[in-house]
Amino acid sequence: MTTLKISLGLVAATALVAWWILPSQRLRTIESSAAKASSPVSAVSAPCKALGVASCAATACHGNFQEKLPSSSILGLGDLRPKDSWKTSYLQWTNHDRHAHAFETLENDRSKQIMKLLGSNIPATQDTRCLACHVNPTIASERTHVALELHREGVSCEACHGDAQAWRAPHTSWTAATNREAEYTAHGMTKLYDLGVRAETCAGCHVGAPAKDGVPMRDVNHDLIAAGHPRMNFEYATFLRKMPPHWREKDRTTGAERLKGFEADAWRVGQAVVMEAHLELLKARSSDQSRPWPELAEFNCYACHHDLKPKGWRGPTMPAQSFGTPVRNRPIAMTNPGTDELLKKAIDETNQVETALAKSLSVKSPHLLAKTEEAIKAWKNWRESLVESSSNAVRMRSLFERDTLAWKHLTWDQAADLYRAMVAIENARQHLVGQPNPEAEERLSKLYEALQLPRGVVHFDSPVKYSPDDVRALFQEWLKK
């Protein structure tokens, strides 16, 4: 089976050519950023919560040198990983995973440029705003010698698995008979086997998160984006597929392999979790008086950033319909929820957040806050109602079929999200029916090409060539088969 072409090129998507906002915005943005730069290094000496990679990477543990390359199955999710994958986890991470380089990124020219534009007088490697996601978040604001050393490891084991102090020793004696649920809880190991918990873990850095339990706020807002940070554009199934797996995918509470339809499950859970994470972030941004407002990253980028084509792809109604981030317009929210009352409720509540946000442009309103909280609850309720194994890729595909054909105006963001959804669902479907479908893959490749951003030396480019009609035609072609 061959790997479907995946679009993380779409992920790096940012935008732009021209806009209609006053230049004074730029000044406000930069001043407020400078004021927020965090305090310089302090020599506090508290014990470090994390142990660091060295405590995982011994050859008898996760640093076995029989290196295995990442799986090349269509799932790419560890299904073809050998049963003893755990022995080489460290090597997978250090040799193939971008997370291992997340700290080095803060030392590169692009980061230097970002800091310069933010008006910061400290380097990114010392700025808690950046460390919050580019190292283990729990030690991002620590400045002890140990912590400074551990920062250099980037997004390492404990950033995802949880700080190991309490679980490192006990976990080495767990067997197939161990009650993992109870052990993970008792020792504070993150339950990454749970698709929802795993998605929350990723979303903490790939969407952002409010400050909590000593972890600073993680926020790529418009100030950071305008200074040169890639826009956050996270879709769970896509990112999981793209991350080099250092594990064998299974339900660790039962030991059962988890393959069939996996990606469709991940996609669906991801829709809820990403929505929750975005709303949590909106809540934090709108309740903290020291943060910029309106927060431009909450709105559709292309409402302000136009390209110069006379008949652009935004369509005549674009500005009016464009409030609300692309993320709140995701396919799940556009899919007719049918009889799923909980999903319907979550979408309704989110639409009300949209309305409240549009009315709160000049002031952070308690009404917006209340609406946001309601919507978060509603998404959580829907997520809890999902039984992991019950998503049916074949049925999901037919829902898309009906709904895509019904959409009048497909923005680039919606099309990109839809594309990612289709890849996930197609992967799941092929797994369910047990055979590859090269024709479908070829059609998806065409969509991928149609959604590509122009590549070049420039980091931030716009989908200038995007044509909704062409893309719709390609979607329809795909759905016909």
Binding to ligand HEC, residues 49-78 (CB under 6 A): 53, 56, 62
- CA dist 345 and 378 (Å) reads 6
Q: Any bridge partners for residue 306, and if so which?
A: 18
Q: Any bridge partners for residue 250, and if so which?
A: 257
**CB of 54 vs ligand HEC, minimal distance in Å:** 10
Q: What is the dihedral of CA 360, 417, 429, 277, to 10 degrees?
A: -40
- CA dist 457 and 270 (Å) reads 32
Q: Which of 342/451 has CB closer to ligand HEC? A: 451
**CB of 123 vs ligand HEC, minimal distance in Å:** 9
Q: Which of 92/372 has CB closer to ligand HEC? A: 92
Contact between 164 and ligand HEC by CB under 6 A: the answer reads no
Contact between 306 and ligand HEC by CB under 6 A: the answer reads no
Q: Which of 129/431 has CB closer to ligand HEC? A: 129
Hey, how many other C-beta atoms are within 10 angstroms of the C-beta on 365? 15
Q: Is 76 left (phi over 0), alpha (psi -120 to 50) or beta?
A: left
- CA dist 353 and 346 (Å) reads 11
**CB of 357 vs ligand HEC, minimal distance in Å:** 12
Contact between 126 and ligand HEC by CB under 6 A: the answer reads no
Contact between 16 and ligand HEC by CB under 6 A: the answer reads yes
Structure token digits, residue 138: 């729990």
- CA dist 102 and 94 (Å) reads 11
Count of residues engaged in binding ligand HEC, rule: CB under 6 A: 78
Among 68, 98, 152, 187, binds ligand HEC (CB under 6 A): 98
Give the max Cα distance, the chain.
66
Measured at the alpha carbon of residue 424, what is the angle toward residues 180 and 184, in degrees to the nearest 5? 10
Binding part of the chain for ligand HEC, among 226-234, 351-359, 392-400, 466-474 by CB under 6 A, reads 226-234
**CB of 315 vs ligand HEC, minimal distance in Å:** 17
Applying the rule CB under 6 A, the residues between 194 and 223 that interact with ligand HEC are 198, 201-202, 204-206, 208, 218-220, 222
Contact between 363 and ligand HEC by CB under 6 A: the answer reads no
Binding part of the chain for ligand HEC, among 44-52, 141-149, 297-305, 381-389 by CB under 6 A, reads 297-305
- CA dist 66 and 69 (Å) reads 10
Binding part of the chain for ligand HEC, among 42-50, 124-132, 413-421, 442-450 by CB under 6 A, reads 124-132
**CB of 3 vs ligand HEC, minimal distance in Å:** 14
Question: Among residues 421, 415, 362, 416, which one has the least CA distance to residue 391?
Answer: 421
